[in-house]
Amino acid sequence: MLKIGEILFKYRDYTPVPWIIMMGIFAQADRNSLMAGAVLMVIGELVRVHGVAFIGGVSRTRTFSTGQKVITGGPFARVRNPLYVGNLLLSTGLVVSSNVNMGLTPYDAIYFTAFFVLFFFLQYIPIVKWEESNLKKVFGKEFEDYLKSVPPWIPKLFVQASGPQIKGDYGKAIKSEKNTLRATVTIMVLVLWRSGYFQM
């Protein structure tokens, strides 16, 4: 699984392309799907900004980087992979917004969303395993203790503060998210165009 995770990490920016193409072909967005999708997208992007504010530029590398220390503050005190949780919410919001209809069943949009979420976890679970394997090699017991105390995907509701409290740099985080926001807007324009919102 570790080798698979390494490969998926390298190509993670390209694996969503088939889904985007299908959304561009079969999107039938309506007011309800756009509203539901927007809620997920906003929450997802806020989670991402919160995570990037604490992890910094490491989140933007195209090759794996461990950083200089184990990040345990902010959202990382609640969940080990806040950026990936944000990705899940943001990308699922895009899928929900598109309201895909292939003409196969009355529930195409639901099935499409469910398969997308399944695809997401099939991709990111190996990626996380590979990343954590590398982090254990670098940080040893410190990171192993962190693995035991913080869940990978479902955030802890209550966290007891311990050790020095660090502050996130939200200004830098917002600037760092330019590419994510640009991609999101581009996909939404495609979905809206395919759904007939730009017809004169």
Residue 130 in domain: no
Residue 106 in domain: yes
What is the token pair recorded at 93?
Answer: 């919001």
CB atoms within 10 A of CB 53: 20
43 in Cβ contact with 125 (< 8 Å): no
Residue 6 in domain: no
Residue 58 in domain: yes
Residue 40 in domain: yes
What does the pLDDT read at residue 69?
82
Query: Could you please report the per-residue DSSP string of 35-68?
Result: HHHHHHHHHHHHHHHHHHHHHGGGGG-SS----S
Residue 4 in domain: no
For the chain, what is the domain count?
A: 1
Mean pLDDT, the chain cut into blocks of 10 residues (200 residues total)? 90 95 97 98 97 75 60 91 97 98 96 98 97 92 92 88 71 92 96 89
What does the pLDDT read at residue 67?
60
Q: Report d(CA 106, CA 74) in Å as an integer.
A: 42
Residue 145 in domain: no
Domain that holds residue 84: 14-122+152-194
Residue 39 in domain: yes
